[in-house]
Chains A and B, each alone.
Chain A
């Protein structure tokens, strides 16, 4: 690791001039410093106590004289004393989480202050990139925040699932509920690129891979940086937005010990309703008859399924119910201690999470635990030390150990056909039909039958006899911070350094076993060894893989803040940054460390907090681009106008605050997911051409020139012009507060033109004979809005409130290098990212004549009445793949909205978060065309001649690959919009007289829940968010449902 930052001036003129500007600014500032010293008339001393809204003394509050750097901090008992230059000064009381208050001294010498709980939010301090803090009312950028307290209302294991509905501009989709890998996919303001659209995550000022597994009790707040003004400082990496997480630090005061315990029961949000054996076999017969084939089951056999008279030969078993449990536990404990003196402040925390899994407990002859689970141990120690009045040092250490367990793992050399995750196992459970075979033969041997279908293995055997997999993740994230106030050199100047050093270590360990299965012949009762599971094999030795990553990151430079002549508030930031990531990857082109460095600059100016101007810029580069083309300059400008401070609005009583702000800037996205594309890559491989004796052929080494045909990253032609994506973002926002701050309304409109998106050369002719290099030619346009309305009113002991949010974003691909001649309706261009394409349907075929006079369905000639009728889009009287058009939306919702009524009475508070999405589709689909032909309840409403008028499902077909109905079409593709009771919480803070008797600080008990109810038109029973995209060997419906959580918790402060 190269330790400290070096200004890199390599061949760049822009930066020189830019530094020049910065230096000019500094000089300008110096000039002001020396000429405007308007000090001192009649010094007085003011004292007082700072309390919170409950009347408890609040230590650690910063007390500052407005327009100067002079100030002090309230002591352990909330008391302060400050000497003022004159009796007319204004004191500013500020404290993170409580906002700030300004009080004109007006000659008083005793001022007691009650800090509000962010009643207005305007004075709230928002954490921006690079540890910058700014008062919310003076922001010119689009930033939304969510506090740690709100996050704690959601009893979710992964913090990413707590954000949705609580903060505008975030879309979150939870694909899976598997313990330990149930985090949501987050996008900031939708997607502006069809490549990696993930926001970068910054924890305590340092970029880190994710924040989902940080104990939510450690989180102070989360800011979402959305527009160019807030993300330009991240330059080449800022275009997808930035999620800034700040962890809790200690405050001056006696040690506070805080315990939180959560005890939850999880259940699934939805599960497919499988048909029983009788209905299932009856429908199989119907499907065969529909196609003129002989039924598979006789009436006598159907009867046996119905009456259960022969449970061995004619079983009826809902496999999902059999192997899963309705309720599975989750517990969470956290103890944290915080406090501090004038010299040292500390916050230490230890947390534990246990998340149980969906499967029932079963005995295993090999000692395999059938229940997946996840355990997480979190530790954090944040210490701030004031070495002197001007020098502060902070050390933040956050560590966690995550242990994930699941039964069954990847069998060695089984290729991509694997049960390597829970989704794969669930896929098989979904397909094992209720009539397949009993769980076991009476003597306890595992039953199975190859005739049921390909790979329809006994689900019980899979979870008790196929092996184990343990995944461990070890993380240590450390942050060292130094702040040195250089007021003696230049008033308002601070030298700051932030250094992060993180270590991530992962390992997974698998053991495999195999079982013998036996086939029971329903006719003869004979038992034979199943050909696909011929023997028992106990657990193998350990198969282990491990790897890790080291990340280091340093930011160092100067911060400046000063007020000139009462009215001119200026701040500036100039930082150098450097980042090095070691250790991901194993081949030549992935193993070199990732490096990035650059400069960050920020200048803000406001006049009387009325007119705001800000310029931000990032100048940075990464190792992933050709020399000379590594660095980009990403500037943004923004401005704000607090109209309510104008004289003409002074007398409008109902208007408390009104601000308009706007920003414009350029940001980049360098997450290409491929490395060194600028290099022309060569490959030599030993697995070349084989010549010689067939019995022992010789592998002749071959050489791929870069014009070879492999993946471009391995041996493609380089493109030295490869560059990052560029986003030009615009934002305009209005913030307002009315009626004594009871009503708040904020709205933001934005758009972005993303260009230079790395795109495969789709228009290059194959005659070229090798792959064309990828080009930065893709363009996407994204626009949208966000609005938030909050109302709160206090009547006596009652507090009523309502928060409503809506976020919308819609994108359009403007260029994806498609062949010019392709028909427009099949092009990606002009459509949204991830747009589904499929057939349009027009009801069901009503009769054979109807089929005969309709266009021929070419992918089947098995059409029968009751099949979906496809629309012949291109009018050639044939239904072919050319008739596929854009249908539905994409998998990512365009609208995310929420409304949260809240109610408090004395010490009891209730809030309910309703959250929904719209304009979203899901192709998760269950049909009878699975390997085992398990069917589901909605198939009872299938089309038959008798039910033609009311049918909601097509006619049943036999299992084959020529079924006509389930090509992706607008019946299969479902509307996945939903409205959920995402979260509800009822809490009660015990009366203080009880607590005093118990000698405790405070006690709060609460009960809350997550995903309590879902309203949706989505037909597939399961949570409309869920889809299996993680194990692509299996169908999309192979999913682990999201959890519904009922939680009881207690928070005790000692």
Chain B
């Protein structure tokens, strides 16, 4: 009886336990895994893996701290009206803080991480090229052509490394996939070795990449031969510049000029007739390579929370061009405003200026989006002060300089009323190639006719129509004009900051006094303009060692003494 009871219980328990689970009770693994081998056993999957590398390019202007800062604001082009820390740290020379305290994509550790992520994908794909059973169909879907994928991988890897060397100088060259247990604590290669590594990739890439004419519209945004050559021209220009060419080896300038010439000689690209929508058209003969993304909607933070005037219902109009930048635009007669014969009237500061000023910045009393922009203050009879709707000095969401940036806030874009605009990020556009050519050629052989042709082409653009540069400029005068042209033409397009660094001109250009405009509305509705020095916190620090970014300090801490810091940091 006793035994019977006990055994019944035990038997029941065990039986029901056993019968209820033939499989392991704890095996709850989610299904549908896609092993690495499977990815590279299928050409389509492999290609989809490969194109993921594109997402690691630096592909937007407003990228610091999500959408709160640009390199323009780090340089002399603009300020951050509300002193966003992503910009402020750079302005103060606290690059480590920019790197460590700015959460979203900062320009130091953010880029370091992003580019090495991209490099990892290209390395992986290049190592698997031989493994993938590429189909030999005819016609083959463009996406799975192995030669092209390999070329794209090399182009992208070169681009990733260039983004690194342009900021940090020589970096560790990681050219294969490392295992999780392998040490990847490898030393930095020299700047020259990095450039050679990049050029080697580019040479292989450009040979196999399709010409832009062969690119179907559906593939817009993918790498082309022209893009590879344009990158090569830029890489060589940077390598020839003062920062990286201490002895001013002219042959470096010559090869930079030759590379730019190679792009020009493709005859695939030409300047777009209009400058005012240079970033806003779906396609353009000027675009060599662009980031393809749909229109910015009327909730896009990069506009409403960054560029748009609160007077037009923006939330933070913090992208504010400086007076320093505005002063760079010539008069329509081709003379600088500092030239006493230019006809510049400080009380009509925006009259008769290079039209590109109007397309790049928004100034007081300009008619914009069917209304006058009001950035004035007015002292009333009873002593109270009133402000125009686009300006309020007591609230940091309004402009700090009396300028907003039109390139980042296109006219069609009206918050919550009408939306959807393109602000294309251009990796390369033809005007830059011309400017690269002019700069390199001027350094290599002096201001020859080809230099004039290149620059004047840009000045002659349909809606710009500025007079040609005066003949007979000296090499150094021509250098200054080219640099000015570059500042104006490529304004706010993520060039200026890096140009200043490669020219080693930070202390002269960035650390100069930063000015804003003061606009007072008079009783008779006229305006009084005065250039004012901005308050201390908008002034910028730039010391010699800052021409190269510091290697992310956290990485130096992780390294066992192998990864060496740039001098000065």
Could you tell me which A residues sit within 8 Å of B by CB distance? 2-8, 10, 288, 293-294, 296, 298, 300-301, 413, 450-451, 453-454, 484, 486, 488-490, 495, 523, 531-532, 534, 556, 576, 578, 588-589, 591-597, 621-623, 627, 630, 676, 679-682, 684, 688-698, 700-709, 717, 763-770, 772-773, 819-822, 858-862, 880-882, 958-962
A-B residue pairs, 6 tightest by C-beta: A769-B120, A6-B17, A821-B557, A819-B557, A623-B28, A702-B52
Asked whether B127 is an interface residue with its Cβ less than 8 Å from the other chain, the reply is: no
The reply on B104 being an interface residue by CB < 8 A is no
- Closest residue to B398 on the A side, CB-wise? A451
Cβ A593 vs Cβ B28 within 8 A: yes
Other-chain contact of A301, B45, B384, B396 (Cβ < 8 Å): B384
Q: Please tell me if the beta carbons of A688 and B28 are within 8 angstroms of each other in the complex.
A: no
| Interface: B214 (CB within 8 A) | no
Q: Are B26 and A623 in contact (CB under 8 A)?
A: yes
A selection of 11 A-B contacts at a CB cut-off of 8 Å is: A2-B25, A7-B14, A489-B5, A588-B30, A630-B26, A693-B282, A702-B51, A769-B119, A859-B94, A862-B536, A962-B537
Partner of B554, one of A589, A596, A819: A819
Give the residues in chain A near B113, CB-CB below 8 Å: 709, 766
CB contacts (< 8 Å) of B137 on chain A: these are: none
Interface residues of B in 132-185 (CB under 8 A from A): 172, 174, 177-178, 180, 184-185
Whether B396 contacts A767 by the Cβ 8 Å rule is: no
- Closest Cβ of chain A to B388, distance in Å, is 12
Partner of B30, one of A296, A676, A696, A862: A676
- Bound-state Cα–Cα, A553 to B5, Å: 25
**B418 sits at the interface (CB 8 A):** no
| Chain B, residue nearest A822 (CB) | B557
Chain A residue nearest to B120 in the complex (CB): A769
Contact B55 A694 (CB under 8 A): no
Question: Which single residue of chain A is at the shortest CB-CB distance from B117?
Answer: A709
Any A CB within 8 A of the CB of B6: yes
Cα separation A693 to B217 with both chains bound (whole Å):
6
Q: Does B3 contact A (CB under 8 A)?
A: yes
What is the CB-to-nearest-CB distance from A122 to chain B, in angstroms, rounded to a whole number? 36
Flag if A690 contacts B396 (CB, 8 Å): no
A858 close to B92 (CB less than 8 A): yes
Q: Give min CB distance, B332 to chain A, whole Å.
A: 32
Chain B residue nearest in CB terms to A878: B94
Q: Binary interface profile of B, 18-34, with partner A (CB < 8 Å = 1, else 0)?
A: 10110011111110111
Q: Of B27, B220, B394, which contacts A296 at CB under 8 A?
A: B394
Which of B245-253, B310-318, B448-456, B504-512 contacts the other chain?
Answer: B310-318
Chain B residue nearest in CB terms to A556:
B13
Say whether A692 contacts B13, CB under 8 Å.
no
A679 touching B555 by the CB < 8 A rule?
A: no
Once the chains bind, are B29 and A703 in contact (CB under 8 Å)? no
Q: A768, B386: Cβ atoms under 8 Å?
A: no
Q: Which residue of A lies closest to B15 (CB)?
A: A4
The residues of A that contact B26 with a CB separation of less than 8 Å are: 8, 595-597, 621-623, 630
Q: Quick check: A3 and B313 within 8 Å, CB to CB? A: no
Excluding A450-B310, A768-B184, 9 further A-B contacts by CB distance (< 8 Å) are: A4-B13, A294-B385, A597-B26, A688-B55, A689-B54, A690-B293, A694-B293, A770-B120, A882-B96
Binary flags per residue of B66-98, CB closer than 8 Å to A gives 1, else 0: 000000000000000011110010001010110
Q: Mark B373-394, 1 if CB is under 8 A from A, else 0.
A: 0000000101111100000111
In the complex, which residues of chain A have a beta carbon less than 8 angstroms from the beta carbon of B393?
293-294
> Which residues on A sit within 8 Å (CB–CB) of B120?
707, 768-770
Task: Determine the chain A residues whose CB is within 8 A of the CB of B84 once the complex forms.
Answer: 961
Q: Given contacts A6-B17, A622-B26, are A766 and B109 in contact (CB under 8 A)?
A: yes
A-B pair count, CB < 8 Å, reads 267
In the complex, residue of chain A having the shortest beta-carbon distance to the beta carbon of B301: A415
Q: Which residues of A contact B85 (CB under 8 A)?
A: 859, 961
* Chain B residues closer than 8 Å to A702, beta-carbon distance: 48-49, 51-52, 55
Inter-chain contact A676/B34, CB cutoff 8 Å = no
* Complex Cα–Cα for A697 and B25 (A): 47
Does B464 sit within 8 A of A, measured CB to CB? Answer: no
With A454-B316, A588-B30 given, is the CB distance from A692 to B217 under 8 Å?
Answer: yes
Q: Does B186 contact A (CB under 8 A)?
A: yes
Whether A4 touches B54, Cβ cut-off 8 Å, given contacts A454-B316, A489-B6, A768-B178, is no
Q: B536: which of A288, A597, A861 is its contact (CB, 8 Å)?
A: A861
- Please state if A769 and B51 are interface contacts (CB–CB under 8 Å): no
The listed residue (A4, A532, A596, A630) touching B313 by CB distance below 8 A is A532
User: Bound complex: CA of A450 vs CA of B536, how far in Å?
Assistant: 27
Contact assessment for A489 and B94 in the assembled complex, using a CB-CB cutoff below 8 Å: no
- Which one of B17, B294, B385 lies within 8 Å of A697 (CB-CB)? B294
With CB as the reference atom, state the residue of chain A lying closest to B42: A703
Are A959 and B396 CB-contacts (below 8 A) given A689-B52, A766-B552? yes
Contact B13 A5 (CB under 8 A): yes
With an 8 A cutoff between CB atoms, is B348 at the interface?
no
Interface positions of B from 272 to 301, Cβ below 8 Å from A: 282-283, 290, 292-294, 299
CB distance from A62 to the nearest CB of B (A): 24
Across the interface, which residues of A come within 8 angstroms of B177, CB to CB?
707, 769
CA distance A701 to B101 in the complex (A): 33
Instruction: Given A690-B294, A692-B220, A692-B221, answer yes or no on A589-B6 (Cβ-Cβ < 8 Å).
Output: no
Chain A at the B interface: mostly helix, strand, loop or mixed? loop
CA distance A769 to B24 in the complex (A): 37
Contact of A676 with B29 in the complex, beta carbons under 8 Å: yes
Q: Does A3 lie within 8 Å of B20, measured CB to CB?
A: yes
Q: Which of B28, B292, B393 has most chain A Cβ within 10 Å?
A: B28
Chain A residue contacts of B124, Cβ below 8 A: 705, 707
Q: Name the residue among A702, A861, A960 with the largest chain B CB count within 10 angstroms.
A: A702
Q: Closest CB-CB distance, A1017 to chain B, in whole Å?
A: 30
Q: Is B424 an interface residue (CB 8 A)?
A: yes
Contacts of A691 in B (CB 8 A): 218-222, 292
Among candidates B101, B386, B557, residue contacting A523 with C-beta atoms closer than 8 Å: B386
Known: A296-B394, A298-B383. A6 touches B34 (CB 8 A): no
Within 8 A of A (CB), among B423-445: 424
Inter-chain contacts of A700 with B (CB < 8 A):
48, 51
Contacts A454-B315, A769-B120 hold; do A820 and B48 have CB atoms under 8 A apart? no
- Nearest Cβ in chain A — how far from B554, in angstroms? 6
Which A residues touch B217, using CB under 8 A?
A: 692-693
Contact A765 B282 (CB under 8 A): no
Q: Which residues of B contact A679 (CB under 8 A)?
A: 29-30, 33
| Chain A nearest Cβ from B278, distance in angstroms | 14
CA–CA, A272 to B83, complex, Å? 29
Which residues does chain A contribute within 8 Å of B82, judged by CB atoms? Answer: 960-961
CB <8 Å contact, A765 and B185: yes
CA distance in complex: A861, B380 (Å):
32
Q: With an 8 A cutoff between CB atoms, is B503 at the interface?
A: no
> When the two chains form their complex, are residues A300 and B52 in contact, meaning their CB atoms are under 8 A apart?
no
Chain B: which residue is nearest A2 at the CB level?
B20
The answer to whether B218 and A961 have CB atoms under 8 Å apart is no
Q: Does B526 make an interface contact (CB < 8 A)?
A: no
Most A Cβ at <10 Å: residue of B2, B52, B385, B555: B52
**In the complex the two chains form, what is the Cα distance from A822 to B48 in whole Å?**
39
CA distance A632 to B299 in the complex (A): 52
Determine how close the nearest CB of chain B comes to the CB of A261; give it in whole angstroms: 47
Contact A695 B282 (CB under 8 A): yes
Contacts of B555 in A (CB 8 A): 765-767
What is the CA–CA distance of A706 and B178 in the complex, to the nearest angstrom? Answer: 14
Contact A701 to B48, CB < 8 A, known contacts A595-B25, A692-B292, A693-B282: yes
Partner of B83, one of A454, A772, A773, A961: A961
Q: Would you give the shortest CB distance from A468 to chain B, in whole angstroms?
A: 24
Please tell me if B490 contacts chain A, counting CB pairs below 8 Å.
no
Residues of the A chain whose Cβ atoms lie less than 8 Å from the Cβ of B109: 766
Q: Are B49 and A705 in contact (CB under 8 A)?
A: yes
| Docked-complex contact B316 and A682, CB < 8 angstroms | no
B455 to chain A, nearest CB (A): 29
Q: Which residue of A lies closest to B7 (CB)?
A: A489
- Assess whether B101 is in contact with A881, with CB atoms less than 8 Å apart: yes
